[in-house]
Chain A
Amino acid sequence: MEIRPIMSALMRSKVSMILIGLQVALTLAIVCNALFIIVERAHLMNRPSGMNESDTFVFGSNGFSEGFEPYSVMQSDLALLRGLPGVVDATTTNSTPLSGGGWSTGISLAPKQKTPTADTTLYFVDAHGVNTFDTHLIAGRNFKPEEITQMDQGLRIQPSVVIVTKALADKLFPDGNAIGKSIYMDEDPPTSTIVGIIDKLQEPWVSSKDIENTLLVPGYIPYGKFTRYLVRTEPGRRDELMKEAEQKVGAANTGRIVGKMRSMEQLRHEAYANDRAMMIILSVVIFCLLTITALGIVGMASFWVAQRTKQIGTRRALGASRGAILRYFLTENFLITTGGLILGGVLTYGLSLWLLANTDGAHLLPWYYVPMGFLCLWVLGQIAVLGPATRASRVAPAVATRSV
């Protein structure tokens, strides 16, 4: 329809056209890539840890008094915790998912194997571990109380039985049927037998590439005189029980320091704090960028309308309808935006490739982000130009007859 006259008009203000196009191109490239990063981070943050996070809390106890016996204190602490009304279960554990610190090791299927078959984290728990984490056995059995051994930090870890997550079981024994199989946790025998498989329980490190590989060891392993407890409560009673546990455990033995009670929700909040910050910052960038680009289009279109008031009047006097004028400016904007978007598509993938080459664990932008971005910026451009275009369409034909 009117593309030819629009093009020839545009060619008369090439620089302005190029500037708007460039702005649209950069906006597309940044918005697409920023949005993709946000989506990827959201995906990371939404991974379930495999444990009950809403009703569970964790805390440490560190003895200092002379004659402090970590083992017996641990037993009376656990009895106290499990006896509190509202507590579902409690266990000792060296670490938890989302905590960022723990024990990792390689698992082999043969003695003195050169490269371990799988890397995993170890959680040292008692027979209440599976229940306290609230993870689920999908095969085999739980630990028996008599299997829980007292270990020492300086000793080799060679438990007779272990429980593994499904992910670790599949990694070690891809044919399935890991129950009853033997694994090497040390380079020499004795081996450990897998007696149970739980559906899911993450490693403590959220950026680990083996995050789903976890192995439960039936044992209690104090760190010096430090013991960590994990407590699960009835839904909704966590916060009151955190206070109660702190006070009662503290009073039960004053020869130690009871560390801060921390809910698993708090641990999750901290574990993903950087990802959340990145998401918020990128969202703000996207918002500001779209606003600036839209305002730029409004400003430029307003200027063009003002500059061409006389021509618009002439066209109106020669019989062009208001709709035709409106359409003229909308089409003009569409053409400029499209030009910018084509350049922007190239820039988008350039930026994505650069991020891919320079960032660990980055992925190439999926193709559909670009058409989606096109659509968004077309709509944004049309909305931005609507105001000035409407003003243009209201220019009276009589304007043409006036001299400036």
Chain B
Amino acid sequence: MFGYYLELGLRSLRRNPVLTALMVIGIATGIAASMTTLTVMYLLGNDPIPWKSSKLHYVQMDNWDVNNPYGSDGKPPDQVTYEDAQALMQAAKADKQAAMFKISLPIQPENKELKPFQSLGRATYSDFFGMFEPPFRYGSPWNHDQDKEHARVIVLGKDLNEKLFGGQDSTGKTLRINGTDYSIVGVLDDWKLRTRYYDLTNGAFSDPDEFFFPYTTAIDLKQRSSGNNSCFKTPGDGWDAYLQSDCVWQQMWVQLDSPARLAEYQSFLDNYVNEQKKLGRFARPLNNHLLNVTQWMKDQKVVSRDVEVQTGLGFAFLIVCLVNTIGLLLAKFTRKSGEIGLRRALGASKRDVFTQFLIESGVVGLSGGLLGLILTGFGLLAVRALYEEYKTVAQLDWSMIAVTIVLAVVSALLAGLYPTWRACSVQPAAQLKV
């Protein structure tokens, strides 16, 4: 029977090609608008490290000015001071911990064919690699001892290794950066991060870090962060004064493997701040945050308001398209009252008629969905062209393709339901009179 109804449906759709095209295009554009925006929103906010995002926590402490909160919403600063990062690193109360900051340095390649160039990297601790789990191509991270020894060691990103060493195993070689020689201990493989979630302060969609080296080494060499630095009062003169100041310029992450560990750490942190209060720091009320990865991304509005508004409008547009389709299907099915009456009089049950017309609307939905999928591809292409920084998130993704098809068919069936119900409640007798 299904085949027969399908044939009937297709024939009926062919009879009014303009109307059919109108319905299909309507659904397709509605689907494309909503799915393009939804894909961007979904991938922007997608958990970048689902297997452990609830264990990684971002540390925030409110060391800010007693008279003026850091943010108008009363939230603590989004970064920490050198002193506090050091205190937490030395206490080492978490399962893993890494303070870090962004750094921009000139690379001086040994290969004289390459001109020196500026490169963005990160000063951090060896736990960084255990916490965020970047894949290694060659070698391995440096170790805790090298952290303590301020070792001149470095881990290269895949692209930088490609550029400097043609992608060869460069571990054991040295690299000169800003006049200092570093020994290469590891090279990362492709590390595709849609959002650079471990440093949202300095741009969630910035280019990936090209190298990593010990934080202690960077401090040793007095290398300032090239990222955001916020002070509520002038730090005083010189490097040492800067390190002791209340300026925030570092990110501090801790890994806490269980809720109990989280609670322990929270109380450790509260104790730490209370102790500091006795020393005259942290004049504001206790306000320590330990947000996990997804909470932190939400807090920092990785999914921008614009993207949310666009998604909302995309779905409102889909509703308009569906209302449009309901109207057109209703018009179409009502015109076929005569045919329905005839079929009912010849013995077709309401159920048969219902199935037949639902299949017809299903066909419309499926074609709309397929066309919509193609249009979504173009839509994402357009988003990539419009938003340079979203190039990693405006991609068709398998789960989103499935959602698109399901959404299209469900929408079309929903849209077809009422007209179909109306069609099968036709009284055969009323239609057969001339």
**A residues engaging B (CB < 8 A)?**
15-16, 19-20, 22-23, 26-27, 29-30, 34, 37, 62-66, 114-115, 153-157, 186-187, 223-224, 256-257, 259, 270, 273-274, 276-278, 280-282, 285, 288-289, 292-293, 295-296, 299-300, 303-304, 306-307, 355, 358-360, 403-404
B313 touches A282 (CB 8 A): yes
Query: Known contacts A19-B327, A360-B305; is A156 also within 8 Å of B234 by CB?
Result: yes
* Min CB–CB distance A264 → chain B (angstroms): 18
* Min CB–CB distance B371 → chain A (angstroms): 14
Q: B268 at the A/B interface (Cβ < 8 Å)?
A: no
A181 to B233, CA, bound (A): 22
Q: Pick from B223, B309, B328: contact of A299, CB below 8 A.
A: B328
Q: Pick from A22, A270, A303, A403: contact of B331, CB below 8 A.
A: A303
* Min CB–CB distance A184 → chain B (angstroms): 11
A304 to B331, CA, bound (A): 8
A307 touches B334 (CB 8 A): yes
B33 touches A285 (CB 8 A): yes
Q: Which residues of A contact B51 (CB under 8 A)?
A: none
Query: Known contacts A23-B320, A30-B316, A273-B387; is A300 also within 8 Å of B327 by CB?
Result: yes
Q: Which residues of A contact B26 (CB under 8 A)?
A: 292, 295-296
Q: Pick from B30, B235, B316, B331: contact of A16, CB below 8 A.
A: B331
A303 to B422, CA, bound (A): 16
Closest to B67 in A: A114
Q: Which residues of B contact A23 (CB under 8 A)?
A: 320, 323-324, 327
Q: B145 at the A/B interface (Cβ < 8 Å)?
A: no
A318 to B399, CA, bound (A): 62
* Min CB–CB distance B75 → chain A (angstroms): 14
Q: Pick from A63, A64, A276, A296: contact of B324, CB below 8 A.
A: A296
**B residues engaging A (CB < 8 A)?**
19, 22, 26, 29-30, 33, 67-68, 106, 108, 115-118, 178-179, 223-224, 233-239, 241-242, 304-306, 308-310, 313-314, 316-317, 319-321, 323-324, 326-328, 330-332, 334-335, 383, 386-388, 418, 422, 434
* Min CB–CB distance A2 → chain B (angstroms): 23
* Min CB–CB distance A217 → chain B (angstroms): 13
A277 to B328, CA, bound (A): 33
B241 touches A154 (CB 8 A): yes
Q: Which residues of A contact B234 (CB under 8 A)?
A: 156-157, 186-187
* Min CB–CB distance B81 → chain A (angstroms): 16
A22 to B322, CA, bound (A): 11
Q: Mind listing 18 A-B residue pairs with CB under 8 Å?
A: A15-B330, A19-B326, A26-B320, A30-B316, A63-B106, A64-B108, A64-B179, A114-B68, A274-B387, A278-B306, A282-B313, A288-B33, A292-B30, A292-B324, A293-B324, A299-B19, A303-B332, A358-B305
Q: Which residues of A contact B33 (CB under 8 A)?
A: 285, 288
B386 touches A300 (CB 8 A): no
Q: Which residues of B contact A65 (CB under 8 A)?
A: 179
Closest to B108 in A: A64
The 9 closest A-B pairs by CB, nearest first: A303-B331, A277-B386, A64-B106, A296-B324, A19-B327, A114-B67, A23-B323, A299-B328, A154-B238
Q: Pick from A115, A277, A292, A300: contact of B387, CB below 8 A.
A: A277
A4 to B49, CA, bound (A): 65
B67, B106, B332, B387 — most chain A CB neighbours (10 Å):
B106
Q: Which residues of B contact A293 (CB under 8 A)?
A: 320, 324
Q: Which residues of A contact B434 (CB under 8 A)?
A: 403-404
* Min CB–CB distance B106 → chain A (angstroms): 4
B331 touches A299 (CB 8 A): yes
A153 touches B305 (CB 8 A): no
A63 to B178, CA, bound (A): 8
Q: Which residues of A contact B316 (CB under 8 A)?
A: 26, 29-30
A339 to B251, CA, bound (A): 56
Q: Pick from B117, B308, B310: contact of A257, CB below 8 A.
A: B117
Q: Which residues of A contact B328 (CB under 8 A)?
A: 296, 299-300, 303
B179 touches A66 (CB 8 A): yes
A404 to B338, CA, bound (A): 11
* Min CB–CB distance A360 → chain B (angstroms): 7
Q: Pick from B67, B319, B386: contact of A281, CB below 8 A.
A: B386
A145 to B335, CA, bound (A): 87
B323 touches A26 (CB 8 A): yes
Q: Which residues of B contact A277 (CB under 8 A)?
A: 383, 386-387
Query: Known contacts A30-B317, A37-B309, A285-B317; is A154 also within 8 Å of B239 by CB?
Result: yes
A22 touches B106 (CB 8 A): no
